[in-house]
Structure 1
Amino acid sequence: MARPETLKQAVQPSPLHALIAQTQLSPSHLPNLHALALQVQHNLQFQHSWTALRVHTHSPLTNEPLPRPLLAGLPPKRLYVHPDEQIALLKTAERTRKARKRAGDSSDALEIKAAPEREWILPTRLSEKWTLRRLSDVFAGTSLVPPEAEESETVTDRPANPWRSTKRVVLATVSPDSTVVYYIVQDGVVKPRQN
């Protein structure tokens, strides 16, 4: 009989598996969809430094169940800048740079400041087939900007950024090897960015 000190230690679960095991899954969605949302949440938090991440299972607008769990969170920097806002930010930065030069500052750097905005994240698997109808169902349940906190039941569909005029989600596509790729998907036609 083997002695206890020579027995192999049990394999510890990964941090992701521990997170999924300790989280109470939503009864309104399939467990695999909720686990997928937690996997993307883990990736955003620990690989991409997102903060204030939260899983949403019900629409903040109607309180009806969403087609699938969505995430909301704050990225470390702005993900999307509207083309008209980009022009306004460049003009403001150029005026600031000229004012610094007149004041005797030798720095010639152009400082563009666009504060990060809360974003919706749609966790998906690479093997899923997405149609415009399925995306439309997701957009129908979301507000323009995700709510700030869990306590905030009243949703204002007015973003702090006046340039944000269409709904958008960050499509998080998880491949079988656990690689996550992110795309911004906008609701409707959007003015193209300037080069």
Structure 2
Amino acid sequence: MTTLPPGLKPAVLPSPLQNLIVEKLEQSADSVHLSDLHALALQVEHNLRYQHSWTDLHIHTHSPISNQLLPRPLVSGLPPQRLYIHPDEQIELLKNADRKRKASKQAQDTLDVEVAPEPEWVLPTRLNEKWTLRRLSDVFNAISIVPPTADENGTPNPWRTTKRVLLATTDSDSTITYYIVHDGVVKPRQN
């Protein structure tokens, strides 16, 4: 073990996440986006996989609609649970759960509502970026309602009729905050 002279501190080593991002950027040297945007997408992908248990994660550089270059890399994946339920779907799910509860003739105080997760688009951003409606519109125009997945056999959700992205806002301390952003006006949820 090496001892340092008095007054000298050990050098700060890169974090495992920094090492991973550098390694992935070197592997994808042919990326068409700026390396900092691709690194941001890798950081968000890492956060979703290891902090939020998402699966089937992919980084997209081209539009699934036109195959044109996306305004910036987007991430898609499957969250462990549904992120958004349309208000009308929520009412229908509660009615179905109540019917099942009454049919089972068991004394239950709660309704068991089961909702399968859906693939989601994720838009990696930095807190200091200025987003306009035009920039968001450019992103929405380039994506499909649901991201392409390896398993296209699933039944599409008939309630999902508008595009949405999960806006992943990364702060300088690596904290990531997620917001759901819809394309257009969405019916408000009922309390």
What TM-score does the superposition give when structure 2 sets the normalisation length? 0.89
Deviation (angstroms), 1:144: 0.6
Tell me if 1:143 matches 2:144.
Answer: yes
> In the alignment, is the contact (CA less than 8 A) between 1:71 and 1:121 conserved in 2?
yes
Question: How far apart are 1:87 and its partner, in Å?
Answer: 0.5
CA distance in 2, matches of 1:177, 1:18: 17
Structure 2 CA distance for aligned equivalents of residues 45 and 186 of structure 1: 23
**Counterpart residue number, 1:184:** 180
Give the whole-Å Cα distance in 1 for the aligned partners of 2:120 and 2:30: 21
| Long gaps (5+) in structure 2 | 5-9
1:34 alignment partner AA:
H
Answer yes or no: is 1:126 the counterpart of 2:127: yes
Is 1:52 matched with 2:56?
Answer: yes
Q: Percent identity?
A: 64
1:67 to 57, 67, 71: 71
State the alpha-carbon separation in 1 of the partners of residues 186 and 89 from structure 2.
Answer: 13
Q: C-alpha separation between the residues in 2 aligned to 1:25 and 1:13?
A: 20
- CA RMSD of superposed structures (Å): 2.1
Aligned length: 183
Q: Which residue is equivalent to 1:96?
A: 100
| 2:116 matches 1:112 | no
TM-score after normalising by structure 1: 0.87
Change (3 A) 1:25 1:132: farther
Secondary structure at the residue paired with 1:164? coil
- In structure 1, distance between residues paired with 2:113 and 2:50: 27
Q: Distance in 2 between matches of 1:159 and 1:186?
A: 21
CA–CA separation in structure 2 for the residues paired with 1:161 and 1:182: 22
1:25 touches 1:34 (CA, 8 Å); kept in 2? no
Q: 1:108: Cα distance to partner? A: 3.1
Pick from 26, 29, 32 the counterpart of residue 33 of structure 2.
Answer: 29
